[in-house]
Structure 1
């Protein structure tokens, strides 16, 4: 590979990127659960190692952290469902508030345009069949997604168990890819990858907890209805970088709007979310995650979009740890080091174009026929 011309090397790298993205897109239903199980198994490694040190049988040492994970996820689902049940119980009041807001919106449209309330109602009735058709397609798609989600979740414990059980075989496979001289680098990359994934996922769990408590608690003290539901929804959507926070604000505003006939609660919700998010981004999350790997904003957003197109919500959620792991690998290889620089956030002190080696030492000559 080192004897190949530079242009051939770069062409092979670009073809490799296209091939990897194509494989992920085609085999997303198989690959994404395995990647998520791999990340979760790394988070569960400390519990597994603790059990092994205390002479717990290997099968039980693996099952215990998996059961602990199921209990945590079950508690989260129970809390979310309890908040949704409160919202459903308040549905008659919500319907009344929505009618009031729709009437106000209709009057506002009539005041700035020539469309009367009757014309607006006729327009809605005329397009009702199209809306119902879209809703039907969405519902059928959601049913397919829900069934796929059950398969996804059902396979996760099995994958996690097998990854932990065969982890030494996987490690041996990785080391056999490289010459003995490179084994110290490989070992360092494995340890740093483990640290990054563990800090990232544990940090996200902590982040969901304190953001739910902060947003939900402050809104409840102010007197906003369904405060903790807004907090839970925003906390989980905030796990999706950049895009999730925007969706969380929109859903929080809509929930507040349906629960009140006034606008000040909406402004209050958006203000509280903005304040908590500022505290999270600048003080809390950097201290909790503490990762030395920095990904620039451009490739963070690009990774979220590509991950969403490839594998939906799971791809958006896993995009950041995958990019972080790739950067760790790229930084430790001479062949792909430039890709690590591209993904990173370490801006050079000055432009490379100002280096002496790039300065023009002689005037650039042109052919006589091209001179003006």
Structure 2
């Protein structure tokens, strides 16, 4: 008679499995992240693929057309961003004068508040500059490696999307073969929920990017803020990273405003506009668009985003929320891992079950 495995051994195996999985992701993120990104884009493009199939279009062409439309949308976004950056570069002389003035004011404040003379401040800056330039070679080589990784990522993405859509039934059969026939219904339900969640989430993000750019960029333009559209674009994309992205977007918005304006009032306008758009997005627009598809509690979200960023960089931070949501769906549909689904979720019990 086979003895039942103790619960402590099961938990230990689960934790070791998480550690091994993290090691694999860190070591092979250049292969795994394009695949994962392609998987999510494939689920988002699946309704378009089915629509073209209903029109009796050949399957290969029905797969290519959604990918082509996605490429056009991404190309338009990149063109809009590069156009705004180009306009920023044209204003570089004015930006240089404005930044110099802000630095002079900062130097006077430091000298008055802390007693460091301008000469001491300049000596400190020179020392730090030498340290920075001494490590510039390593930074440039790392940037070159990142650039090559981005090129490989972008090149592989459409190929992966094409193959995933083309062989979707093969992958589904592979998944079903791991389960008994009486478990097929639960597996199908988990697959259906995953597909619905990913489509709703990614399409919602595209809509979110659009209205944040329009609302924030338009509001700043009305108030005469320079680089209004660029600030809106940067904040819209950084806002895709929950919690942390909005903070970074606020900082970059303030820095861009300081670089192009001498007025503190402009900085306050930018902060007020970002706060208003963010409150509108978090409390009214995004809940109505995405609904209740993502049910991950804030603590797990922040920790998951940080861990994903450490393991796989920026792409990991963007994919952290949908990955956590898929894991919650899987855990909720299994008997042995339901406690992990409870941990990831945001359903707070009314009272503690502990009785003293």
TM superposition score normalised by structure 1? 0.93
C-alpha distance in 1 between matches for 2:210 and 2:3: 49
Name the counterpart of 1:258.
Answer: 259
Runs of 4+ in 1 over 4 A off after TM superposition: none
Shift of 1:58: 0.7
Please give the secondary structure, in 2, of the residue aligned with 1:341: helix
C-alpha distance in 2 between matches for 1:208 and 1:134: 36
Q: Tell me which structure has the larger Cα radius of gyration.
A: 1
Question: Are the equivalent residues in 1 in contact too, given 2:200–2:293 (CA < 8 A)?
Answer: no
Name the counterpart of 1:226.
Answer: 227
Q: Does 1:145 align with 2:146?
A: yes
C-alpha distance in 2 between matches for 1:262 and 1:234: 21
Q: How does 1:306-325 map to 2 (within 5 A)?
A: 306-325=307-326
Q: How does 1:145-164 map to 2 (within 5 A)?
A: 145-164=146-165
Q: Does 1:216 align with 2:217?
A: yes
Question: Are the equivalent residues in 1 in contact too, given 2:204–2:286 (CA < 8 A)?
Answer: yes
Name the counterpart of 1:128.
Answer: 129
Question: Are the equivalent residues in 2 in contact too, given 1:32–1:314 (CA < 8 A)?
Answer: yes
Question: Are the equivalent residues in 2 in contact too, given 1:212–1:228 (CA < 8 A)?
Answer: yes
Question: RMSD of aligned C-alpha atoms?
Answer: 1.3
Name the counterpart of 2:58.
Answer: 57
Please give the secondary structure, in 2, of the residue aligned with 1:353: coil
Name the counterpart of 1:174.
Answer: 175
Q: Which 10-residue stretch deviates more, 33-42 or 125-134?
A: 125-134
Please give the secondary structure, in 2, of the residue aligned with 1:55: coil
Question: Are the equivalent residues in 1 in contact too, given 2:53–2:62 (CA < 8 A)?
Answer: yes
C-alpha distance in 1 between matches for 2:345 and 2:123: 55
Q: Does 1:198 align with 2:199?
A: yes
Give CA-to-partner distance per residue, 1:169-219, whole Å, 9 cap, x none. 000011111100010000000000000111111111111110011110000
C-alpha distance in 2 between matches for 1:293 and 1:331: 14
C-alpha distance in 2 between matches for 1:215 and 1:331: 38
Question: Are the equivalent residues in 2 in contact too, given 1:293–1:328 (CA < 8 A)?
Answer: no
Name the counterpart of 2:333.
Answer: 332
Question: Are the equivalent residues in 1 in contact too, given 2:190–2:333 (CA < 8 A)?
Answer: yes
C-alpha distance in 1 between matches for 2:210 and 2:273: 16
Q: Which 10-residue stretch deviates more, 56-65 or 15-24?
A: 15-24
C-alpha distance in 2 between matches for 1:300 and 1:112: 40
Runs (5+) with no aligned partner, structure 1? 360-372
Return closer, same or farther for 1:94/1:293 CA change in 2, 3 Å cut-off: closer
Shift of 1:2: 9.3
C-alpha distance in 2 between matches for 1:141 and 1:318: 23
C-alpha distance in 2 between matches for 1:136 and 1:283: 47
Give CA-to-partner distance per residue, 1:262-314, whole Å, 9 cap, x none. 21111110111011001101111111111344101111001100000000000
Q: Which 10-residue stretch deviates more, 25-34 or 222-231?
A: 25-34
Name the counterpart of 2:300.
Answer: 299
C-alpha distance in 2 between matches for 1:2 and 1:30: 40
TM superposition score normalised by structure 2? 0.97
Name the counterpart of 2:117.
Answer: 116
C-alpha distance in 2 between matches for 1:161 and 1:131: 44
Give CA-to-partner distance per residue, 1:108-160, whole Å, 9 cap, x none. 11111222112222332333322223444333322221111010010000000
Shift of 1:13: 1.6
C-alpha distance in 2 between matches for 1:134 and 1:102: 25
Name the counterpart of 1:367.
Answer: none
Question: Are the equivalent residues in 2 in contact too, given 1:199–1:291 (CA < 8 A)?
Answer: no
C-alpha distance in 2 between matches for 1:186 and 1:341: 19
Name the counterpart of 1:94.
Answer: 95
C-alpha distance in 2 between matches for 1:2 and 1:185: 28
Question: Are the equivalent residues in 2 in contact too, given 1:208–1:236 (CA < 8 A)?
Answer: yes
Please give the secondary structure, in 1, of the residue aligned with 2:183: helix
C-alpha distance in 1 between matches for 2:122 and 2:8: 63
Name the counterpart of 2:34.
Answer: 33
Return closer, same or farther for 1:234/1:295 CA change in 2, 3 Å cut-off: same
Runs (5+) with no aligned partner, structure 2? none
